[in-house]
Amino acid sequence: MKYPKKLKEHGCIGLVCPSSCISSERISACRDTIESMGYSVKLADNLDINYGGYMAGTGQIRGEWINRMFADPEVDAIFCVRGGDGSSRIMEYLDYELIRNNPKIFVGYSDVTNLHLALNQNCGLVTFHGPMVSSNMADGFDPESEASLFEALSADGSYTYKNPEGFPIKVLKEGKASGRLTGGNLSLLSASMGTPYEMDTKGRILFIEEVCEPMSKIEKWAYHLRNAGKLKDCSGILLGQFTKVDNADCPEYDVIKCLTDIFEGFDIPVLYNIQSGHGSPMMTLPMGAVCNIDTASQTIIFDTER
């Protein structure tokens, strides 16, 4: 598994909606945002199609646009416009051989977790759990999120992940570990179990984040991973942003205390407060790259073989 080629100056970025759509008016803001960075833009034609109230067209349409962007020799990178819902429908329509033979930068998060798992595991492609155009860029791309994204995309040899200033990386369980990074949004990771795209954690570093869910669902999905053997198989864990995750009936039993219970009995290092997920700033993680974590120095360093 290798890093994709660097994003060249004045390169072309393809914009896709693999999950939910945006408004027709929002398309112009997304295009302008990317062009203001000095890149040209190609737009999928389903960005503003509303199918079923929450999807940017049928699963086939959305899957075919992913294929077309990977196949297009003029497109250097593919940025997801937003997440949302519905990416599970596109998985059967992805042309994994085509994608494997045309590796390029792919960026997104949230419902895009399905694609990170599939492109890492089925295509040997390092992808980027990073900011999306409508969700994170069009209304003001904060400097720390922008710097993290382009440092990750252009890293040569190694990439040292850094939290934004004022957000210390914290230690839940001590130790060192190395392995390819996998994971993403917790609900999607849980839903992958039993499918052809099931997350492989054997010897890997597992990253988890979530948004707008009660503690009971965090418990349910994380225990599903534990009961499926996915937690005992991994070599280390990174906990990202758990944005607007609450426990109204017992506020002191927060997400870290809940996950501490779930990780009981596993002798693996765990770092938390990683600022990647549904919060701001939103830092970038290269999914599928070899990740080296050391809780003593609180460092997270990626190998960026191209």
Q: Which domain holds residue 95?
A: 12-141
Same domain for 168 and 297, yes or no, is yes
Same domain for 62 and 167, yes or no, is no
Which position among 135, 144, 213, 278 bears the catalytic label? 278
Is 235 among the catalytic positions? no
Q: Look at the block and give the residue holding tokens 């017992």.
A: 250
Last-in-domain residue among 108, 141, 174:
141
Which position among 87, 110, 145, 187 bears the catalytic label? 110
Rg (CA), the chain: 18
Same domain for 100 and 68, yes or no, is yes
Same domain for 44 and 126, yes or no, is yes
3 occurs within a structural domain: no
Same domain for 126 and 179, yes or no, is no
Read off the CATH number of the domain in which 216 is found.
3.50.30.60
Last-in-domain residue among 106, 141, 176:
141
264 occurs within a structural domain: yes
Per-residue pLDDT 10s for the chain (306 aa) are 889 999 999 999 999 999 999 999 999 999 999 999 999 999 999 999 999 999 999 999 999 999 999 999 999 999 999 999 999 999 999 999 999 999 999 999 999 999 999 999 999 999 999 999 999 999 999 999 999 999 999 999 999 999 999 999 999 999 999 999 999 999 999 999 999 999 999 999 999 999 999 999 999 999 999 999 999 999 999 999 999 999 999 999 999 999 999 999 999 999 999 999 999 999 999 999 999 999 999 999 999 988
Q: Three-state SS string across the chain, please? A: CECCCCCCCCCEEEEECCCCCCCHHHHHHHHHHHHHCCCEEEECCCCCCCECCCECCCHHHHHHHHHHHHHCCCCCEEEECCCCCCHHHHHHHCCHHHHHHCCCEEEECHHHHHHHHHHHHHHCECEEECCCHHHHHCCCCCHHHHHHHHHHHHCEEEEECCCCCCCCCEEEECCEEEEEEEEEEHHHHHHCCCCCCCCCCCCCEEEEEEECCEHHHHHHHHHHHHHCCHHHHCCEEEEEEEECCECCCCCCCCHHHHHHHHCCCCCCCEEECCCCCCCCCCCCEEECCEEEEECCCCEEEEEECC
Which position among 64, 209, 210, 213 bears the catalytic label? 209
95 occurs within a structural domain: yes
Same domain for 170 and 127, yes or no, is no
Same domain for 230 and 188, yes or no, is yes
pLDDT the model gives residue 305: 84
147 occurs within a structural domain: no
154 occurs within a structural domain: no
Read off the CATH number of the domain in which 88 is found.
3.40.50.10740
Measured over the CA atoms of residue 183, residue 188, residue 190 and residue 195, the dihedral's sign is negative
**CB atoms near residue 100 (< 10 Å):** 14
246 occurs within a structural domain: yes
Cα 155 to its chain centre, rounded Å, is 18
213 occurs within a structural domain: yes
Is 10 among the catalytic positions? no
Same domain for 93 and 192, yes or no, is no
Is 209 among the catalytic positions? yes
Number of domains composing the chain? 2
Same domain for 76 and 170, yes or no, is no
Same domain for 300 and 169, yes or no, is yes
pTM attached to this predicted model:
0.98
Same domain for 167 and 119, yes or no, is no
151 occurs within a structural domain: no
Same domain for 175 and 295, yes or no, is yes
